[in-house]
Structure 1
Amino acid sequence: MVDLKLVTKAMGELDEDQVVSALTDFMASDPSREDTLKVMSACQQGMSLVGDLFDQGEYFVGDLIYAGELLTKAIETIKPALKGESVAKIGKMVLGTVQGDLHDIGKNIFKSLAESAGFEVYDLGTDTPPEDFASKAKEVNADIVGMSGILTLASNAMKDTVESLKEANLRENVKIIIGGNLVTSDLCSHVGADAFTTNAAEGVKICQGWVK
């Protein structure tokens, strides 16, 4: 098993060589899904360090962009170990970062885990208008709508998106989950979502429970 603290530290320091080396060695050990999720969590914790350093003025926008690219590379490296034995699709999910927010790191982690769990994910990207969530959910007959956002303004966009789903007569047929650093139980109630998560793996477990 790889040293999880080392992975977190290397990710936080944006040490690509060390991250890639550690994850490559990890994959060579034919890891279990459980261990791979632990490594994924370690990578997420490293990204939290990056966010803290950005808030402190140690990192800049360019560092955030690079961190996102590094995380994407890390996910792609370990993604094969997240594949379940069954490739059967268990449900359809429309996913996106809400209008006014351009952050996609958390969304991309959630997407990778959801796909590996058997969901058919339709990723709308970032800065997604409420009506786009509704139209896509209707088009693909989605079971779940997932909204991501980390800016304060995202809360209003999430609420507007739920309203858009209601106006399209879709709300009763879809479950809604919201995610991001800002989400809380109070915000979940405020926007009218069914669940919230600040942990991608836990969020996917919630969604799996909905489609069983």
Structure 2
Amino acid sequence: MPDVTIASIFQAVVDGNTRGTLEGIEQALEQGLTAEAILSQGLIAAMREVGRLFEEGEYFVPEMLVAARAMQAGLNRLRPLLVAQGIQPLGKVVLGTVKGDLHDIGKNLVGMMLEGAGFEVIDLGTDVSPEKFLAAIEEHQPHLLGMSALLTTTMSNMKLTLEILERAQVRERVRVMIGGAPVTEGFARQIGADGYAPDASRAVALAKHLLSTFTEPS
């Protein structure tokens, strides 16, 4: 039964079972399920469940990482089919760890969780200068910009990046979310960011909320 196959994909992702995820996807495709159905009912639903388990204290960062990797393997398998079907992502996000900071585990997890929720993610990596963030916004025209910092000494580069976006007159075109161990809601407000998320699960919820603040052209 197709829904049994979808359930097996869902469970494989929740369990962080990459091989099981890929095998389930192949079975589902053989049964005639669409890539869109597999994505929404299998992968995205599973990552929603992983986020719930994390928020309830049943899952921790290692479990989230292995689940996100299983999801990403499945997404890589489906992506050409989704493109061929003309399936549009939920929204587009540019991510990066700010200049002077080489930490990427949290940022990578946020990126994988966002992909698992249906966003297109452009990951600029670590040690990203304000100018590189600006260039990426101008090139990719994202809805959201996500900046991460793990060092108190590099947090100031979040503020500097926002100032450069203002000067380049692109700040109004993108919603900015920030995160990282030393970052707080108060700091986000202080520098003029649109939101702060303390972990990857809540980053997804924040991204969806910020996306909803865009108004469609009339």
Between the aligned residues of both structures, percent identity stands at 34
Q: How many residue pairs were aligned?
A: 167
Q: In structure 1, list runs of 5 or more residues that go unmatched.
A: 1-21, 48-69
- 1:75 aligned residue (68, 72, 76): 68
Please tell me the root mean square deviation across aligned C-alpha atoms, in Å. Answer: 3.2
Q: Note closer, same or farther for the CA distance 1:178–1:169 as it changes in structure 2 (3 Å cut).
A: same
Aligned to 1:35: 49
Aligned to 2:60: 45
1:1-212 → structure 2 map (5 Å cutoff): 23-24=16-17, 33=46, 34-38=48-52, 45-46=60-61, 75-79=68-72, 80=74, 87-212=87-212
Q: Note closer, same or farther for the CA distance 1:113–1:102 as it changes in structure 2 (3 Å cut).
A: same
Aligned to 2:3: none
CA distance in 2, matches of 1:143, 1:187: 22
Q: In structure 2, list runs of 5 or more residues that go unmatched.
A: 1-14, 25-41, 213-218
Do the aligned partners of 1:146 and 1:176 also contact (CA within 8 Å) in 2? yes
Do the aligned partners of 2:185 and 2:196 also contact (CA within 8 Å) in 1? yes
CA distance in 1, matches of 2:126, 2:58: 22
Q: Note closer, same or farther for the CA distance 1:199–1:71 as it changes in structure 2 (3 Å cut).
A: closer
**Deviation digits for residues 23-47 of structure 1 (CA, Å, limit 9, x no counterpart):** 439x689895243334566697356
Do the aligned partners of 1:87 and 1:118 also contact (CA within 8 Å) in 2? no
Shift of 1:77: 2.6
